[in-house]
Amino acid sequence: MTDVATLRAMARLSGVELPDAELTALLPVIERTLAMLARLETLPLTGVEPAAQYRML
């Protein structure tokens, strides 16, 4: 579960100011997105080099 205060703090860290009413409205969408992102933490990616830039050829 995510609350509006946490979202407000995250948004500010990225330089985005959002009124609480807007954050509250966005909350369900954000929670769905965060759930998708959380899946990334469950993947076996230890030791995998990130593709910071795709193939320089």
Partner 1 sequence: MADLVFTSMVDLARMIATKEVSPVEVTKAHLDRIAARDAELRAYITVCAEAAREAARAAEAELMSGRPLGPLHGVPVALKDLVNTAGIRTTGGSKILGDAVPAQDATVAARLRAAGAVLLGKLNMHEFAYGPEGLNAHYGTSRNPWDAATARIPGGSSSGSGVAVAAGLAPGALGSDTGGSIRIPASLCGITGLKPTYGRVSRAGVLPLSWSLDHIGPMTRSAADCALMLRCLAGYDAADPTSSVLPTPEYGAALTGDVKGLRVGLLRAFFLESAAPEVRETVERAARALEGLGATVDEVALPHMDDMAGASSAILAPEALAYHAEWLRTRAADYQPDVASRLRMGAFVTGVQYVRAQQLRTVVRDAVDAALARRDVLLAPSTPIAATPVGDTEISIGGVTADVRASLIRFTRPFNFSGHPACSVPCGLTSGGLPIGMQFVGRPFDEATVLRVADAWQRATDWHARRPPMA
Applying CB under 8 A, the residues found at the interface with partner 1 are 7, 10-11, 13-18, 26, 29-30, 33-34, 36-41, 43, 45, 48-57
Contact 27, 7 (CB under 8 A): yes
Question: Can you tell me whether residue 41 is helix, strand or coil?
Answer: coil
Give least dist CB 37 to partner 1, A: 5
CB of 24 to partner 1, least distance (A): 13
Residue 21 vs 40, nearer CB to partner 1: 40
DSSP string, 5-18: HHHHHHHHHTT---
